[in-house]
Every structure is written in C-alpha cells, then in structure tokens.
Structure 1
Amino acid sequence: MLLLRRILPGRNYCRRFSTSQSHLSDRKGLVLGVFEKDGEGHHLTEAAAGFDQSISGKLSELLKISGPSLKKGKSRLFYGLHEDFPCVAVVGLGKAESGFCGAENLDAGKENIRAAVSTGCRLMQDLEVKRVEVDGCGDAQSAAEGAALGLFSYDQLKSKKKTQVTTRLHGSADATGWAKGLVYAQGQNLARLLMEAPANHVTPTAFADIIEEKISAKVTVHKRSKAWIEEQQMGAFLSVSRGSEEPPVFLELHYRGAPDSAQPPLLLVGKGITFDSGGISLKPSQSMDAMRADMGGAATVCASVVTAAALQLPVNIIGLAPLCENMPSGKATKPGDVVIAKNGKTIQVDNTDAEGRLVLADALSYAHTFNPRAIVNVATLTGAMDVALGSAATGVFTNSDWLWEQLQKASVVTGDRVWRMPLFQHYTRQVTDSQLADLNNIGKYSRSGGACTAAAFLREFVTLPHWAHLDIAGVMSNKDEVPYLRKGMSGRPTRTLVEFAAGLTQNG
C-alpha cells in the first residue's frame, strides 16, 4: 500500500483500499502468475493477461513501475484494481520454459507453480481474505496442490486459528486438473494432520477411527484387535507393543477400484508407531516429541488409499498399518530378547529402538497372503536415512527395476522425489550374523550403513519379486526446504504414492 502511494499518489485504486481494508474478509482475493522474461519485464499467464485487459492494462503498468522483474517465488500485492477483487496478489513463476530437469530429477515448472501459488494464497490468508480465486498458471493441478498444501496448518488445539480460505479456479482453465490437484493435496494434508497431532490424541485406536471416518463406500475397513494379532502369530509386532498401556491395532484397508475384482492388488504397508520412546533403549529427551510422527508411514499409506478411492482409480489396493506405541515398562521387550515373527524366523532384539522393522516384518509376511502384484512399504525407519539424503528425497530400496522406474516416474510429476539406495548382500550378512537367533534387529556394525541394514532386514520377510521399501525418516518434517509446506510434519510422500498407483492403471 505504501509503495503504491509513493509511486502513484492520488490514484483511485490506491485510495480505495483505505476504505475497504476492514472488509477484505468479506470479499474475494485473486492470485495471478507471471513468468520472467530473459530481459526486464514480465510475461503474463493467460488468466493474468485476461484480467489485465479487463482493467485496461493497469496491472501491466503497475508491474513495470513497482520494481524489478518479479523473480520466481516472489510476490506483489495490489489493491483496488477491480471491483470484484479488492486485493490481487501477483506471484513469480520463473521462466515459462521451465520443465523436467534431469540434474534435479523433477519438473521445475510444476514445482515453481506450486511454490508461487502457495505464496499468493498465504498472503490472502494473512489478510484474512476468505475466498480466493487462483490462476491455473498453465497447470491447474499443480496450482491446486500449491494452494491447498500452502494453506494447511495444524492449529486444531489453538484458541486463535488461521483464517479458513476457500479457493477456486479463476477463469476457464483446466477444471478437471484443478479438482484432481485438490484431492491430491487433501490426501497429503490428511497425513500431515495425523502426523502433527499429539500422541495422546492419536493413539493406535484413535488413528484407526480417524481413517475409518475418511474412507468412501468403496473401501472396506478392518480394525484387527490384539487377539487377532496373537492368532496371526505376529510375535515381532506384539513384542513392540508389549510395553504400552495402549492396545495395538492392525488396520487393514481394502479398496476395490479395478473393473476386474480378481486383479491382484497393490499392497501398501506403513509403519504405525504412534509414539516411539525407544522402549528400554530409551531415546534422548531432546526432540523426542517429534516421535509422535513415527507413524508417518502408516499415515501416508492410509491417506494414499483414501485418496485413491476419492479419485476412483481403477486399481485394487490393500493398505496395512500395524499400529502401536513403543514404550518402556516392566512388560517391555528387553535388549537381548528373542522373538518369533509370523513367518517363523527368530529375531534377536538387541536394540528396542529399532522397532519399526519388527512391526513391518510381520505386516510384510501377512501382505504375501493376498498374492499382490507388488508390495511397497513406507516407514520413518532410520536416522541414518536422514543423514544420507536429508529432506531432499525419500530413500528407496527395491528388488525390482520395474517398481523403481514406476516410483521414480511418479516422483518427477509430484516433485516429491525418490532416490534409489543399495540392497547388497553385504548388508544382509550383517543382520543374519546373530548370536542367538536367525536375525538380529540391528546390523553387526550398528552405526555403519544403518538405513541399508534395516532394508536388508526387511528383505528377509519378502519373497515377492516386486517389493520396495521407502525410508521416509529424512522427509518426515519440513523446515523451509519445501516452500509450499509450512514448518512441521510434511505428509511426504503421499502424492507420489497416489501418482504411482495411478500410473499402474496405465502401465499394467
């Protein structure tokens, strides 16, 4: 406002804001995109050009005199340009020719749109504008994802909440793509909601109830009790849950979307530790609160099934989530104990904080009973994964080149990247060399290649030729690395899992 008054004193569209600012929340806002030119100036998107024409070129005029070229991710606010939109945010989309970048392993154009649109929508939210129309920016799905992901914040337990903003597509762009993008983003936001919530609010039972409330008619939910888990002889899973007063739940979701009901399902398995204290091998107290999100694998898997059903993808998917807490008590598993997994293998538990692989071992064994076409398990499994890749990408360990190609292709579209990691026998020997049992739950050289030895451990419970393990410990939370996500739990890589499932419908 002050900038415009200094540049254009006395213009009507500057003064008008002073009389309407307090009523912005009752009016609509508008977010428009502009591309950078090689030289000075801007190239307006189709929607921005149409808006500019409707106000006799005032937008172009203001962009020219309000400073240098609007760079990628930057924004400017203008007031009083249009009677229907008292507040207009213009956001920089980078260069129009941005697209797939091999060095970065993503589609830079799509990512630029997500980041720019999220910036514009947050500006509107800060101004308490409740209704916002958004420029599709040439990719309505990415624009919708940026809007919905950028506006999400977990403030359910705060007295003062952020303004709830309703977004819609501006102009006659791709309405189908916009609707699809909103569903993708809502799926990731569901995972963020589950991961961010305190552990006393999202217990294993509460987690299962929340997911049951979100599912559609095409999804069958089974909330398996401790008695069922015992019947299944899931001794590894039960050993983790033993120290907690909260009962374990084995959550099972069946989505039947394929025209052929006999089509082998895609199996998604998610680690569901709703709070991880480390058990007897207690974690340091610093940052232990973040372990409320140690069920991030279960959150992303279940959110992916919910999203696939909402999109009515023509594929059969089964989601499995072994849910429990890992707590220390007189009943808790002790270092050195030996437990028996569902497939009969014995496991020496030398570190009770390496519990995720134990619950997944039984879930993976159970997953094979459905004769799936592929199994993908997702888990915040190792701090070593965070050390290796940080938040840049999800680490993928897989025995299948085909499965890797499908996951990698999906991640390019979503911008939520994956990176292939090794599954050498070198690591397998470190977990099979156990003093008391068939396997040890930590590698022989515990600090070396921790993410790889964890993956090697899981491989001992897989016989299927198409299996992938996604270690999401490094992408569990967001500081400022992903500009269209606020600080907090990220819900990654939900959109990549959904895109991967959607791709299977086209690739057989």
Structure 2
Amino acid sequence: MEHRFIEAPGAALSGVKADALLVVLTTEHHHTGDKAVDALIDDAVKHGDLALKAGRSLFCRRPMGAGKPHLVLVVAAQDGAKAFKSAVAKGLASVKDLAVAHVAVVAADGLALQSAHARALVQAADEATYVYRQTKPSAPAAGKLRKVSLVGPKASASALGAALKQAQAQVAGVALARELGNLPGNHCTPSHLAVEARKLAREYKHISAQVLERPALEKLGMGSFLSVTNGSAQPPKFIILRYEGAAASQAPVVLVGKGITFDTGGISLKPGAGMDEMKFDMGGAASVLGTFRALAELKPRINVVGLVPTCENMPSGTATKPGDVVTSMSGQTIEILNTDAEGRLILCDALTYAERLKPAVVVDIATLTGACVIALGGIHSGLFSRDDELAQALLSAGQDSGDTAWRMPLDEEYGDALKSNFADIANVGGREAGSVTAACFLAKFTQAYRWAHLDIAGTAWKSGGTKGGTGRPVMLLSQFILDQAAAGKQALAPQAKPARKPTRAPKA
C-alpha cells in the first residue's frame, strides 16, 4: 500500500485527482472550504441522508460529475487520532470492493491534522485491506485499492509526509508479525521462524541473524528452555537478531520474544475448546521479527538485539512432568508445578543470556498469562517493571503509537507465591494475581539490568468472528526504539550498578 501527502487547500478539494474523496467530519466541524463539497454535505444533512452523529457515513457515487471522485462522508466521534482511524476505516470499507485504486482522505476545517492522524490513516488502510491467503486458496481476490493519500495544506506537507513514511515502515513490521501469527502451527514451526529471521538478514544490510541449535543450548546450560521442548519432535531454536545502527560501543536495546509456536499445555493439557488459538502463542517472537522489519526501513541510529527462544510445548512420553525440577542457565533450579506455564521457562534462559550483551534495557514480550486477559481484556498490553523511567518510556511510546499498555504492580510480596520446598523457585503460584506472579518469576532472572515485561496475551490476537493476529505490539516497540534513538545522550542508560553479580552465562 502506497501512502503520500497531497498538497491542496480546502478550496481545491473537488479538483484532487483520486478515485474517491473520503471526508472525515465531526459533529462540530463539517465544512471543508471547497464550495462544491460543502454544498453536497449541507444538502445531505438537510435532507436527512447524513446525520452529524458519530459513526454515521454516506457514500455518493461521483456526485460532482463524470471524471470526478466518488465522495465518502464519515462522522468521527472526536477530533483525536483514534476516532480519525475509526472513521477512515469505515470509509475505506465502503469503497474497497469497488474499482477504486486511490482514495484521498481529508479532514474537515477545524480538525487539525497531526502526525498521529497520519499514522492512524496508514494503520486503518492496512487493516482494511488485509486478507489472509497463505493456506486459504478460496480467500477473496485482493481489491484494487493501492494508494491512500492524506490531503492538507502546504504548511503541513513536511511533518505529515514524514509521519506517513514512518508509519508505513512500522505497519510493514505489523504486517509481518500478523502474518506469522496467522500461520497454522504445522507451517509456522520454530524452524520457520528461524528461516524468517535469516530472510530479514539477507534482505537488509543492517540486520544479521544467528540461530543456535540444541547442542549449543545444552552447552549454554539452558535447562529450563530445553525442558519445554522435550515432548516435541520439532527441534528448538534460539534466534539472535542484531540491528546495528550505531557504534559498536553503544549499549543495545534488547527485545526478548516468547516463541511457543504451538502450546498444548504439555502434560498439564489444555482444554480442547479454543486450543487452536495456541498457534498465536508465538506472538512475542512475531513482534520481535516485525519490529526488526520496521527498523530495516526506519534506520534509527541505535543498536538493537532480538532474542527469540522458540519451540513447541507438546505431551509425549519424553515430555517434562509436573513436579520435575530443572536447572536454568542462571543456575537457579525450578520446580515445574504446571507444564502449561512454559513461556516463562523459555524466557528465563533468554533473559539470562541477555546479560552478556551488556544492554541499555531489556524488554520481553510474551503471550504469557490468561490472567492478563481477565485483567485488561484486548485493549491494553500489561506492562510490568520495577524501573519507573523505563516503564514511563514504554507507556509514552504506546500512547504515541496508539498501541497502548497499562502498568501493573510488581511488588516483591507477590513473589512469595513462587516458593518451593524442592527448588529455588516454582514456576507458578496460585490463581490469584497470575499475571503478576508470572512477572515476578521473570524478575528473578533480570537483576543485572533495566528490564520490563509486556504481557500481550490479550492483545496479540482476536477471537471470535474476527479471529486473527493483530501484529501488536510492533507499533509500541518500534516507537520506543525511535524515541530512544532520538533521545541520543538522554536515552536510557545501562543500570549503573548491578543489583547482584551477573548470573552464570557460559560462552557458547
């Protein structure tokens, strides 16, 4: 999808060369400055064809004559970017099945367009035109829509043009993450994720990829990670992606993505209903790959490392059993009380590995707990961190990108639920505060650096009639990295003094 800015004062809207003109109105602002367009709006309102109420819309087939664009009028609830996105999406839905290749979007006078509106337009266009096809030959053919432009005055050209370009790169990352999530588990295996990582490295010169196989993981002492893959015939992979946009001396931002390509629960088997959605349990891994795809085009001056531990969680005669005790890469022993709490078991070894990278910050991303879905639904991702500055930077990136998170507690007292009589730590506590105790488990392995955890169990995919991956939180992560790059010397620095000595991390 191509996106660009069209310079045109309101008085010249009817002369914009496009197949359709989509005008976003509000209850307070419903004129554009173009006499022909405003006359049509006034006539529609006067005769009751369009009510100036949020969510109302009207499609007019070439009302300005042959050779002129179709006119789509949509009333937004507010003048903010979120409402603008919804309005654009509604308008695009009315024309995407027509012979419309180019839609020009304009806001009514008084609705001041900002960079956030440009990003919202790009996101709306991407979501409106996406159709999953890889394993569905019967999927409808792609529509003709190829270009969505934003129309505005010359004074806005530089800022909005740059915002469109940035958003287009970010949405390319969202698209990759969403497509990987939608692939079924027999297609998107750990090996497939490794192939996708290497593909990124081949296509973009600032990215490199390394994939560690089981012998290397055994040498590293990743006993916790390997315990999860014991029941599967699919070999585990540990993917290391590097984006080198700054001097090698600059401490990297490290992203750690949970890559369970299918989660049966293992011996602690999940209920059959809805288990098909466990193909989305690699949403964290997908978001890391998607973020690197976005970075390839954005080219920020910063170093980023992606760590993706990936495997299946399957039941078999060789699978890990409830009550088994394993030794993590950190040297801490873990009593596995529930094999369905496997994401934290692969993440903890990846988080220990992250120490050797001497990171500025580490952010892990995981479809970790159903408890987070209960707490926050599908609106916000859950954010956990003991670092106020890092937490605020992530929250701000979420607000700016429209890919929001909500900070959850991480009090040490919650960690008491993880005490074990047979190991240093148990992998689960009770039912209460399940998302918090899961974060407390991960915190045990992150004492040596600044760390945050994003639980995306509620936001990585949708269920029901709209079932499918969302590509979240690629927008949040890419915006966070852009913010850190822009901050330069004011960016988040590595932890001054480790809270403890780094845990054991032998060389591969």
Give the shorter-chain TM-score range: 0.7 to 0.9
Higher mean alpha-carbon deviation, 470-479 vs 294-303, is at 470-479
Q: Cα–Cα, structure 1 residues 95 and 454, in superposed 2: closer, same or farther, change >3 Å? A: closer
Paired position in structure 1 for 2:482:
502
Paired-residue identity, %: 39
Deviation at 1:394, TM superposition (A): 0.8
Q: Distance in 2 between matches of 1:163 and 1:128?
A: 11
1:382-429 per-position Cα deviation (integer Å, ceiling 9, x unaligned): 111111111121111101000011011111112222111111121212
Is 1:386 the equivalent of 2:357? no
| Contact in 1 for aligned 2:171/2:475 (Cα 8 Å) | yes
SS at match of 1:124: coil
Deviation at 1:451, TM superposition (A): 0.7
1:329-388 per-position Cα deviation (integer Å, ceiling 9, x unaligned): 111111111111111111111111000000000000001110000000010001111111
Is 1:471 the equivalent of 2:455? yes
| Contact in 2 for aligned 1:35/1:95 (Cα 8 Å) | no
Q: Distance in 2 between matches of 1:322 and 1:293?
A: 15
Is 1:376 the equivalent of 2:363? yes
- Look up the equivalent residue of 2:384 and give its one-letter code: F
Paired position in structure 1 for 2:119:
141
| Contact in 2 for aligned 1:235/1:339 (Cα 8 Å) | yes
TM-score, length-normalised on structure 1?
0.84
Q: Distance in 2 between matches of 1:406 and 1:497?
A: 11
SS at match of 1:294: helix
Q: Distance in 2 between matches of 1:64 and 1:183?
A: 42
Q: How many residues align?
A: 454
| Contact in 2 for aligned 1:268/1:377 (Cα 8 Å) | yes
Q: 1:408-487 to 2 correspondence within 5 Å?
A: 408-431=395-418, 433-443=419-429, 446-478=430-462, 487=467
| Contact in 1 for aligned 2:262/2:281 (Cα 8 Å) | yes
Paired position in structure 2 for 1:11:
none
Q: Cα–Cα, structure 1 residues 170 and 423, in superposed 2: closer, same or farther, change >3 Å? A: closer
Paired position in structure 1 for 2:75:
92
Paired position in structure 2 for 1:257:
245
Q: Distance in 1 between matches of 2:21 and 2:171?
A: 18
Q: Distance in 1 between matches of 2:353 and 2:449?
A: 16
Paired position in structure 2 for 1:492:
472
Q: Distance in 2 between matches of 1:33 and 1:464?
A: 52
Is 1:207 the equivalent of 2:185? no
Q: Cα–Cα, structure 1 residues 34 and 132, in superposed 2: closer, same or farther, change >3 Å? A: closer
**Gap runs ≥5 in structure 1:** 1-26, 97-108
Paired position in structure 1 for 2:139:
160
Q: 1:235-254 to 2 correspondence within 5 Å?
A: 235-254=223-242
Q: Cα–Cα, structure 1 residues 332 and 114, in superposed 2: closer, same or farther, change >3 Å? A: same
Could you tell me which of 219, 223, 228 is aligned with 2:211? 223
Q: Distance in 1 between matches of 2:303 and 2:251?
A: 7
Deviation at 1:213, TM superposition (A): 2.5
**Gap runs ≥5 in structure 2:** 1-16, 492-508
- Look up the equivalent residue of 2:78 and give its one-letter code: K
What value does the CA root-mean-square deviation take over the aligned residues? 2.2
- Look up the equivalent residue of 1:142 and give its one-letter code: A
Paired position in structure 1 for 2:502:
none
Q: Cα–Cα, structure 1 residues 188 and 31, in superposed 2: closer, same or farther, change >3 Å? A: farther
| Contact in 1 for aligned 2:259/2:281 (Cα 8 Å) | yes
Q: Cα–Cα, structure 1 residues 442 and 360, in superposed 2: closer, same or farther, change >3 Å? A: same
Is 1:364 the equivalent of 2:368? no
1:138-165 per-position Cα deviation (integer Å, ceiling 9, x unaligned): 2322212221133223233222324243
1:404-463 per-position Cα deviation (integer Å, ceiling 9, x unaligned): 1101111111222211111112121221x21211111111xx211111111111011112
Higher mean alpha-carbon deviation, 454-463 vs 180-189, is at 180-189
1:109-158 per-position Cα deviation (integer Å, ceiling 9, x unaligned): 11111111122222222335344333377232221222113322323322
